[in-house]
């Protein structure tokens, strides 16, 4: 018996499989059915069809871009997703390695693998601080390093940029700045927003099984502050996509979806998947303000995302780097 082992094939195994036909009769030695032999059994039942939201042209382009990045950077793993923020519809999605890679991956990395999101989490921290009334863009702090909670928080530029504003902290992607922002919010408020944005619990994307929900011990002031810039907390790709819809979609958080509809073998639709709002973690005004600062990452003279300008479009974004966690702490470099 052929059984789906992974991904959509596993999730929809029963619907896709259908049922074999069966014919029972008594035949003579030449194979002819005996005239007084009743024919028993049942007809074949073809399986259902799963229709995806993927756009073939965009998917093809994404695969080419990811192949190129894979070739030049030689990463151990990679995911890439294009999604319609207003609905949660996944237009294209891919991962490396795949099942045909030199060292094949037998997991759906979009939902089963978790990682530390690094500085991309600053978007969520910023939105939370704005929404809770704990963000003053014009206040200043000393960048570079900050000793707190029995440890040290360091910016990617360890010597820092002197005293800078919290607005600039976002543009420059300052860890120290976001540790201050988390402290101003308070750990309990920050954790409340992490949960409101859907972290640490499954997204339940229809068609994707075996989801890893992510973890954080969230103990002590240092680790609590670290989570504001994406360390000491793990997430899956679909959780990040879902959380970002709230920022892109004026506070409305949409569940990602990749299955558009299910039809039976005769073409009749038996299930339609519609866009589903799964929360409103921030107000419309907080989302708009967050996007304004995300544009600064691309267009401000100190922004870390200036390479991502696209002619003819206004881009909002956030760069992110993270140290890689291993069994013996963080990797060097």
Rounded to an integer, what is the distance from CA 166 to the centroid of its chain?
27
Contact 176, 78 (CB under 8 A): no
**φ, ψ (nearest 5 deg) of residue 140:** -120, 160
Secondary structure (DSSP) of 274-305:
---EEE--S-HHHHHHHHHHHHHHHHSTT-TT
- Pick the catalytic residue: 119, 143, 173, 174? 119
Q: What tokens appear for 64 in the block?
A: 């080419």
Q: How far apart are CA 101 and CA 257, in angstroms?
A: 26
CA pair distance 128, 192, nearest whole angstrom: 9
Nearest Cα to Cα of residue 179 among 239, 118, 226: 226
Number of other CB atoms surrounding residue 208 within 10 Å: 23
Alpha-carbon distance of 8 to 180, in angstroms, equals: 43
Token match 């037998």: residue?
106
How many alpha carbons lie under 13 Å from residue 222 in its C-beta half-sphere?
10
Which two tokens mark 155?
Answer: 């910016």
Is 47 within 8 Å of 8 (Cβ atoms)? no
SS3 assignment, position 91: strand
Instruction: Give CA separation, 155 vs 84, 122, 151, 172, 325, in Å.
Output: 33, 13, 14, 10, 18
- In this structure, are residues 61 and 55 in contact, taking their beta carbons and an 8 Å threshold? no
The DSSP output letter for 250 is T
**Residue 72 annotated to the active site:** no
Hey, which residues are catalytic here?
A: 119
């Amino acid at each position: 018996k052929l059984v789906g082992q992974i991904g959509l094939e596993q999730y929809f195994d029963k619907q896709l499989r259908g049922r074999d036909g069966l014919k029972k009769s008594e035949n003579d030695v030449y194979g002819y059915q005996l005239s007084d032999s009743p024919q028993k059994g049942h007809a074949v039942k073809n399986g259902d069809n799963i229709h995806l939201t993927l756009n073939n042209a965009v998917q093809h382009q994404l695969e080419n871009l990811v192949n190129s990045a894979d070739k030049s950077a030689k990463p151990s793993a990679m995911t890439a997703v294009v999604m319609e923020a207003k609905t949660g519809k996944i237009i294209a999605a891919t991962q490396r390695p795949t099942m045909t890679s030199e060292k094949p991956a037998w997991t759906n990395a979009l939902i089963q693998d978790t990682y530390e999101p690094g500085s991309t989490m600053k978007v969520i921290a910023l939105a939370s601080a704005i929404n809770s009334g704990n963000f003053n863009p014009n206040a200043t702090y000393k960048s570079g390093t900050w000793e707190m909670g029995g440890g040290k928080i360091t910016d990617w530029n360890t010597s820092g940029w002197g005293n800078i504003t919290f607005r600039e902290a976002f543009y420059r992607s300052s860890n120290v700045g976001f540790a201050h922002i988390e402290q101003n919010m308070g750990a309990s408020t920050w954790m409340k927003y992490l949960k409101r944005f859907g972290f640490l619990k499954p997204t339940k994307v229809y068609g994707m099984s075996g989801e890893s929900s992510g973890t954080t011990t969230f103990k002590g002031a240092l680790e609590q502050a670290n989570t504001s810039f994406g360390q000491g907390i793990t997430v899956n790709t679909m959780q990040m996509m879902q959380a970002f819809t709230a920022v892109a979609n004026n506070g409305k958080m949409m569940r990602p979806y990749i299955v558009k509809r299910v039809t039976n073998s005769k073409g009749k639709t038996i299930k339609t998947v519609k866009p589903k709002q799964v929360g409103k973690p921030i107000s419309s005004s907080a989302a708009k303000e967050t996007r304004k600062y995300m544009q600064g990452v691309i267009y401000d003279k100190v922004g870390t995302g200036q390479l991502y300008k696209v002619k003819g479009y206004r881009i909002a974004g956030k760069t992110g780097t993270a140290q890689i966690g291993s069994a013996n702490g963080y990797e060097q470099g």
